[in-house]
Amino acid sequence: MPGYSNIGGQLKPGVIQAEITADNAGDEYNIDATKFTIPGFAGGPKFEKFYASSDSATAGGSGDAQIVSPGTITQQDLDGAKQKAEDAFKEKMKDVMKQQLVSDEMVLNQAEKITITKSSSSAKLGSRTDSFDWIVTGSIKTLVFSENDVKNVVIDSLKIDSQLNSVKTEISKIDYGSAEPNFEETSLKLRVYTEVISTPLINLPQVKKELLGKSDDQLADILRKYDSIKSANVEFTPSFITRIPQYSSRVSVEVQNETN
């Protein structure tokens, strides 16, 4: 507070401007322009020398919860901070968990369980502050599984069909549907959708052995025994040769998968 100043031979009291806030919300706290004194100075020389005055009537003291003084913490502030803090906490917990996974390990959103044990604000409703913190603590449980294990289960289930034992099976694509986690028993039921490539297992050395020394006309009878061979193409080099050589080292047999 600045002291008195002498202006043109007249003493002028020191003046500062300040913002005032009512103790409670309500229209009855909107008062007319007035002079404010300090009760503790009553009866002494400071009572008339130290005072404050308002130039106009006060406003903004409505009982409507939507109208509050700047910097006052509202329920909306607390609710918004709580939602944002808890959402950020959950995402952070998921990120930390995923960083712990190795190579083929996976975790699905349905197999995560986040428990918030504490969620509180550093400021109270109605308090005045420019900023405040919201503190969240909790834990996360996840059921992690190996995608290779899932693929092996799928392939093993396909091999139950005896016809599939004579083919090489590979999973080209895998998608996960619904998941039913049981955190108490640490078990997880999955619905899995896969695309499978099956390649017939052909004994190439045996086929090659049977073809040695045969003419082009004899190939059909030999290859007819192999159901998985749809067609065959024989190329002779040089072109005047009409019979497959007798020597295995001079013969090459290749298998190509049929493509759509």
Task: Verify that 179 and 231 share a domain, yes or no.
Answer: no
pLDDT at 3: 60
In a domain, 260, yes or no: no
Q: Show which of 179, 200, 221 is a domain's final residue.
A: 200
With cut-offs at 50, 70 and 90, classify the pLDDT of residue 52.
confident
Task: Verify that 45 and 28 share a domain, yes or no.
Answer: yes
In a domain, 160, yes or no: yes
pLDDT tens for 74-132 read: 999 999 999 999 999 999 999 999 999 988 899 999 999 999 999 999 989 988 888 89
Cα distances (Å, whole numbers) of residue 255 to 202, 230, 232: 8, 11, 9
Number of domains in the chain: 4
In a domain, 111, yes or no: yes
pLDDT at 157: 81
* Arithmetic mean of pLDDT, 185-207: 84
In a domain, 4, yes or no: no
Domain residue limits at 95: 75-142
In a domain, 258, yes or no: no
pLDDT > 90 in the chain, percent? 29
In a domain, 209, yes or no: yes
In a domain, 252, yes or no: no
Task: Verify that 24 and 64 share a domain, yes or no.
Answer: yes
Task: Verify that 159 and 171 share a domain, yes or no.
Answer: yes
* Rounded Cα–Cα distance for residues 180 and 44 (Å): 79
In a domain, 15, yes or no: no
* Rounded Cα–Cα distance for residues 78 and 157 (Å): 54
